[in-house]
Amino acid sequence: MTGAAGTVAGVVGAAAVAGDAAARPRRARGLPGSAAARDVVRRELRGVWVATVANTDWPSRPGLPAAAQRDELTALLDRAVARKLNAVILQVRPTADALWPSAYEPWAECLTGTQGKDPGWDPLGTAVREAHDRGLELHAWFNPYRVANHTDPSRLTPSHPARRNPGWVLPYGGKLYYNPGLPEVRAFVQDAMLDAVRRYDVDAVHWDDYFYPYPVAGQSFADGAAYEKYGAGFPDRAAWRRDNTDRLVREMSERVKALKPGVRFGVSPFGVWRNADTDPAGSRTRAGVQTYDDLYADTRGWIKKGWLDYVVPQLYWHIGNAAADYAELVPWWSDTVRGTGVDLFIGEALYKCGDPAQPAAWQDPAELSRHIDLAAGHDQVRGHAYFSAKSVAADRIGAMDRVVADHYRSRARPPR
């Protein structure tokens, strides 16, 4: 999510927990069960991403006892409530593995340190229940195509679908990916994600910026055989790849709505669709990556076609950045969603605040608060999400404290 950085059930007890969670009646979202509900005055998203890949945010390390993992999770949720946030975006399928007893994929490695090993509890079921008990929405964050942060299929658990179907995967840039050009892959990854939607009372399905992988200099994504088989009728491989991604997004949108009409479908893409020098409809930026051209993700098109309920562009640049200015991108995205019915939330780079490797703007505790001020001048912006939970906790220079003090004096309901 930093923009360059989301098994068959074997334990009856864990499955029972999942069933209980799914059967539990829905309660009003965004309203804490305590008297804190009295100061709810508006609707806006105040979200936080919780990355589980490589134990980025949670669990703090693989192999923690189940009770310790639960305690860390509930502390994270309590912290979100204390900051007057109202949504948690939890990564539940980080590397083609699962934080629930999936019928399609193995248990996630981040839980126990061993992919496929039962952690002894149901993290997603617990997260849904505990979030809702606190008045928080739970957005289930899935990564469609990333299989592993290495290129050795033998390191995957033997039952992994990528090992049972070796023709589905391709190595690229030191990682393994499912091949987006194969129809059977698109169908499988949708089935795997919808398993969680079917069984749990999640509020949204959330994807990030990873579709086709980010370009790696000197390397090519070896999907030539799939292009030869399925690429007839397209002017070039880039157009075919974009169509593959379009199909994934459109089909998932349709299937989520058919399964549970009340569940929202949102995407958090890299913040630049295309530079204006490339396309007059693009933003006045000079970004080195353009999602349309480099990730084969036509994010603007998905909005215009109504396939998304919300979009959270990752605007991880400071105000005044020479290549990609936050002050240029907020109005571009606001204009893009206008009249479409798609909610616009802005992804904020809290992780950069106080990082000595970042430019001077990020050393100012007020930078992020100025982002919220600027975005408030654009009526299409309906909230913000912060990357990520670890940075909310650490708050190195008090940037999150400043946002809360300046902008979150009262609680808010998420838009619906």
Interatomic CA distance for residues 200 and 322, integer angstroms: 44
Tell the burial category of 186 from Cβ atoms under 10 Å away from its Cβ (0-12, 13-18, 19+).
buried
Interatomic CA distance for residues 109 and 115, integer angstroms: 4
3 located within any domain:
no
Per-residue pLDDT of the chain (416 residues; tens, 9 = 90+): 654 343 323 322 333 333 333 333 344 454 444 434 445 557 999 999 999 999 999 999 999 999 999 999 999 999 999 999 999 999 999 999 999 999 999 999 999 999 999 999 999 999 999 999 999 999 999 999 999 999 999 999 999 999 999 999 999 999 999 999 999 999 999 999 999 999 999 999 999 999 999 999 999 999 999 999 999 999 999 999 999 999 999 999 999 999 999 999 999 999 999 999 999 999 999 999 999 999 999 999 999 999 999 999 999 999 999 999 999 999 999 999 999 999 999 999 999 999 999 999 999 999 999 999 999 999 999 999 999 999 999 999 999 999 999 999 999 999 98
Question: How many C-beta atoms surround the C-beta of residue 16 within 10 A?
Answer: 13
119 located within any domain:
yes
Interatomic CA distance for residues 56 and 411, integer angstroms: 28
In the prediction, which pLDDT does 33 show?
44
The single-letter DSSP state of residue 379 is T
Token pair 């051209």 is found at: 293
Q: Please, are residues 241 and 326 in contact by the beta-carbon 8 Å criterion? A: no
Query: Domain count of the chain?
Result: 1
In the prediction, which pLDDT does 28 show?
40
**The model's pTM:** 0.91
Helix axes 123-133, 12-23, angle to 10 degrees: 30
SS3 assignment, position 147: strand
2 located within any domain:
no
SS3 assignment, position 174: coil
1 located within any domain:
no
Interatomic CA distance for residues 108 and 119, integer angstroms: 9
The alpha carbon dihedral of 169, 55, 193, 103 has a sign of positive
Interatomic CA distance for residues 141 and 119, integer angstroms: 20
Q: Which of 222, 14, 7, 226 is nearest to 97 (CA)?
A: 7
For 27, the domain range is 12-413
SS3 assignment, position 408: coil
Interatomic CA distance for residues 333 and 352, integer angstroms: 22
301: enclosing H helix or E strand: helix 299-304
What per-residue string of b and e applies to 215-248 under the rule 16 or more CB within 10 Å gives b? beeeeebebeebbeebbeeeeebeebbbbbbbeb
160 located within any domain:
yes
Q: Please, are residues 416 and 29 in contact by the beta-carbon 8 Å criterion? A: yes
Q: Which of 414, 415, 364, 411 is nearest to 34 (CA)?
A: 411
What per-residue string of b and e applies to 315-349 under the rule 16 or more CB within 10 Å gives b? bbbbeebeebbbbbbbbbbbebbeebebbbbbbbb
245 located within any domain:
yes
Tell the burial category of 138 from Cβ atoms under 10 Å away from its Cβ (0-12, 13-18, 19+).
buried
In the prediction, which pLDDT does 253 show?
99
Q: Which of 74, 63, 66, 71 is nearest to 128 (CA)?
A: 74
5 located within any domain:
no
In the prediction, which pLDDT does 262 show?
98
Interatomic CA distance for residues 216 and 174, integer angstroms: 10
Q: What are 250's two structure tokens? A: 């459109």
313 located within any domain:
yes
Beta-sheet strands, E only, within 238-321: 264-267, 310-311
CATH number at residue 135: 3.20.20.80
- Helices in 65-200 by DSSP H: which ranges? 66-82, 109-112, 123-133, 161-164, 183-199
Interatomic CA distance for residues 149 and 5, integer angstroms: 11
